[in-house]
Amino acid sequence: MQFQGLSAFPITPADPQGHVDTAALRRLLRRLADAEVDSIGLLGSTGTYAYLNRAERRRAVEAAVAELGGAVPLLVGIGALRTDDAVRHGQDAKAAGADAVLLAPVSYTPLTEAEVFEHFATVARAVDLPVVIYNNPGTTHFTFSNELIVRLSQVPGVVAVKNPAPDAAAVKAELAALRAGVKPGFSIGYSGDWKATEALLAGGEAWYSVVGGLFPAPLMQLVRAARAGDAAEARRLNAALQPLWDLFIAHSSLRVVYAAANLLGLTDAAPPRPILPLDEPVKRQVAEVMRALGLR
């Protein structure tokens, strides 16, 4: 698996009891495969991994592997409060046919850097798949320092990081500082769709994208322009998507993509409780933005 380009992160449709709708999931994944995304990030935050039990996570991975048939590399989220549970999720992902795992330091008690390092080192030793560091302080309430990412990059099996994209003015310096310390070949990628274009143009290898998990075609155009060094075209395509970014910022990308998937008729699933779907006026805004941007 190459940790570069567009990694598309779809929702995981499920019923109110947390049973994954594998037919709807496979429809979502087929859109991504047909668009030739570089990889698929299953069971990320958009995939609501934290709300699914072990059996349902494994069912989701098995359905994804069956649908994709190896055509698109599959990165699977394995975050859990306990290290032994994260190991079991990783081993399940391996047994089901995943290509790599994405590990977030999920916590209730705030974690120290020493604890997070040991958590990752333990999982990397126990799971025979490449491990991607998931730096998502908005949900885990733990922020990786550059020093910790550099240390983890030396751990066998830890191969990449998914960082939140910084502001455009800071991204070049942050990327250069991190790249100076990590081992050669370690991939530095970014999430945060409304900021990721500048991170790609600055030299980030991968865009881990929420909107790419539902509308891959315009994101593939943007990524190709960025990777070709066509900054003007990449910025033009990104600016065209600003109405969607505005919705993400105002209402959360998770709620917006659930509403959009419902509007497309791909699933009637709602976000897992206690997350509530968008109210009707905002759903109408989502529909209007989709029409205006030609998203289908």
Could you tell me whether strands 187-191 and 206-209 are parallel, antiparallel, or unpaired per DSSP bridges?
parallel
Give the single-character DSSP code of 164.
Answer: E
Strands (E), 110-195: 131-134, 158-164, 187-191
Residue 214 is assigned to a structural domain of this protein = yes
Give the tokens for residue 295: 């998203």
User: Would 53 be classed as within a structural domain?
Assistant: yes
Of the pLDDT bands very low, low, confident and very high (cuts 50, 70, 90), residue 3 is very high
Residue at 258 is within a domain = no
Average pLDDT score over residue span 54-81: 98
**Quick check: 22 pLDDT over 90?**
yes
Residue 99 in domain: yes
pLDDT digit string, tens, across residues 72-115: 999 999 999 999 999 999 999 999 999 999 999 999 999 999 99
Helix/strand/coil percentages in the chain, nearest 5: 50, 15, 35
pLDDT of residue 88: 98
pLDDT digits (tens, 9 = 90+) for 128-162: 999 999 999 999 999 999 999 999 999 999 999 99
Of 49, 134, 190, 208, the active-site residue reads 134
Share of the chain above pLDDT 90, in %: 99
What CATH number does the domain containing 16 carry? 3.20.20.70
3-class secondary-structure state, position 39: strand
Q: Is position 117 within any domain?
A: yes
Q: Is residue 141 part of a domain?
A: yes
Residue 12: the pLDDT is 98
262 assigned to some structural domain: no
51 labelled catalytic: no
- Cβ atoms of residues 3 and 189 within 8 Å: yes
Cα angle vertex 101, ends 46, 176, to 5°? 85
Q: How far apart are CA 80 and CA 78, in angstroms?
A: 7
Determine the Cα–Cα distance for residues 191 and 166; give it in Å rounded to an integer. Answer: 9
Domain that holds residue 60: 5-228
| pTM for this model (two decimals) | 0.97
Active-site annotation holds for 190: no
Q: How many domains does the chain have?
A: 1
Task: Select which of 162, 208, 258, 283 is catalytic.
Answer: 162
| 172-217 residue pLDDT tens | 999 999 999 999 999 999 999 999 999 999 999 999 999 999 999 9
Distance (Å, rounded) from C-alpha 282 to C-alpha 279? 6
Q: If you average pLDDT over every residue of the chain, what do you get?
A: 97
As a whole-number percent, the residues of the chain with pLDDT over 70 amount to 100
What's the mean pLDDT in 244-264? 98
The candidate with the shortest Cα–Cα distance to 10, out of 189, 293, 285, 219, is 219
CA pair distance 279, 214, nearest whole angstrom: 20
Looking at residue 24, its pLDDT comes to: 98
Judged by DSSP in three states, 129 sits in coil
User: Is a pLDDT exceeding 90 seen at residue 232?
Assistant: yes
Does residue 256 lie in a domain region?
A: no
φ and ψ of 169, to 5 deg: -70, -20
User: Which residues touch 240 (CB under 8 Å, ≥6 apart)?
Assistant: 218, 293
Q: Which of 163, 167, 168, 240 is nearest to 205 (CA)?
A: 163
Q: At residue 1, does pLDDT exceed 90?
A: no
